[in-house]
Structure 1
Amino acid sequence: MIEQETAPARVGPRRRRLGLAVLGTAVATVLVIGVPVLLGQGATPANAVIREPDGSLKIYVRDYQRPEVIESRLRDLDVRASVTFLPTGKQCKEPRGTYLPDNPALLTTEPPADGEEAYWRLHPEQIKPGQTFVYTLWYEERGDNRMASASVRVATGAVAPCEVVPGGPVTREGPEGGIGG
């Protein structure tokens, strides 16, 4: 379930909350979900992309230093992609390409099943030949708290490399000590 403007939840010592936000390109709507992730558990590699029987792709992100792993795996699965991870408060200089209007059906979130890691679900059928999936993820970690927000776009043709400049989302302390966007 996706909720708009969800307040960050308090985090206990054995759990961390993963807040994910999808920033639409045509509108500035921010969708935030909170998903508990048990520390040290899960068989999913740090960064992975797994094809599901319905053709959708589950994208798992736990290591915010290796976007090339996801980009390479997407390419192996016939999805042309540009994947960038940035620290909070930074952004890529735009425009990097010619973007199509926002498509909320492209990347979706849903609560993971019991014992499953949090993930994004990419619907590659929404990306046509000659288009590039542009996935920019911002992250910040404070102790056991992790905040990530993402910009999801599709561009026609190639996308320029990210030239990092100041800007982008900035996380802040929540009312109960958690971090939020």
Structure 2
Amino acid sequence: MRPRRRFVTVPRLLVAAGVAAAAAVTPLLIGNGAPAYAVAESSNGTLTVTVNEMRDPDGLEARLGAAGVKADVTFLPAGKGCAVPRFAGVDATYGGPPAAGAGELRALVNEARSSKATRVTSARTFRIFPEHIRPGETLVLEFRDNGNAQKPWRLGGWLARAHTPVQPCTPVDDLG
């Protein structure tokens, strides 16, 4: 007796193709296993934020909110920034007149609470110092893709005045 010949039917072929496609796509979705971001709280109230991938800004906002910091997070592609103004800043680091020179700019930044509220500490990590954020203020964080794996993003961090709205980001060409 001759063995029965198996025919590959269209449904079987589609199932096999689907399994192969899923196997190829799964590593892309899972990535390297590192979360997009992490937020760690220290005993003194400082938050250490690590951003591995520029995705899920709403999730990062929620995590910061759970840690007591009201935030507006935007991730932007390379060469883009948010159109100004989108909020009323607490100091002249956002929306104020341009500095007359490097010395004036340095003094402005050193005195501004917005500049004291965040500090980049490494290529993927920055710290938030809640003691510089007053009740009702929003920490506005704009991450710009740097197009560089060693330093993947640039951070713009400002404080919006208490109980004032922060408008959604309208991406425009970045001038700086």
TM-score bin, normalised by smaller chain: 0.5 to 0.7
Quick check: which one's strand share is greater?
1
Which residues of structure 2 form unaligned runs of 5+? 1-31, 92-111
Correspondence for 1:105 among 116, 135, 151: 116
Percent sequence identity over aligned pairs: 30
Structure 1 residue 81 displacement after superposition = 0.7
RMSD: 2.2
Contact 2:79 2:174 in 1 (8 A): yes
Q: Distance in 1 between matches of 2:117 and 2:65?
A: 17
- Report how far residue 48 of structure 1 moved: 1.5
* 1:141 aligns to 2:150 (yes or no): no
SS at match of 1:141: coil
Please tell me whether the aligned partners of residues 34 and 52 of structure 2 are also in contact (alpha carbons under 8 angstroms).
Answer: no
Shift of 1:118: 4.3
Contact residue 48 and residue 69 of structure 1 kept, 8 A? no
SS at 2:63 equivalent: helix
Distance 1:60 1:127 in 2: 20
Give the whole-Å Cα distance in 1 for the aligned partners of 2:173 and 2:142: 15
- The number of equivalent residue pairs is 122
- Output the CA distance in 1 between the equivalents of 2:71 and 2:79: 23
Moved over 6 A (4+): none
- CA, structure 1 residues 168+72, in 2 after alignment: closer, same or farther (shift >3 Å)? farther
TM-score when scaled to structure 2? 0.61
Q: 1:110 to 1:93 in 2, by over 3 A?
A: closer
Q: Does 1:50 align with 2:40?
A: yes
In 2, distance between residues paired with 1:60 and 1:70? 10
Cα separation, partners in 2 of 1:147 and 1:168, compared to 1, 3 Å: farther
Query: Taking structure 1 as the reference length, what is the TM-score of the superposition?
Result: 0.60
- Whichever structure has more helix as a proportion of its residues is 2
Residue number among 48, 51, 56 corresponding to 1:66 in the alignment: 56
- The answer to whether the 8 Å contact 1:131/1:158 transfers is no
Matched, 1:119 2:125: yes
Gaps of 5+ in 1: 1-39, 112-116, 170-181
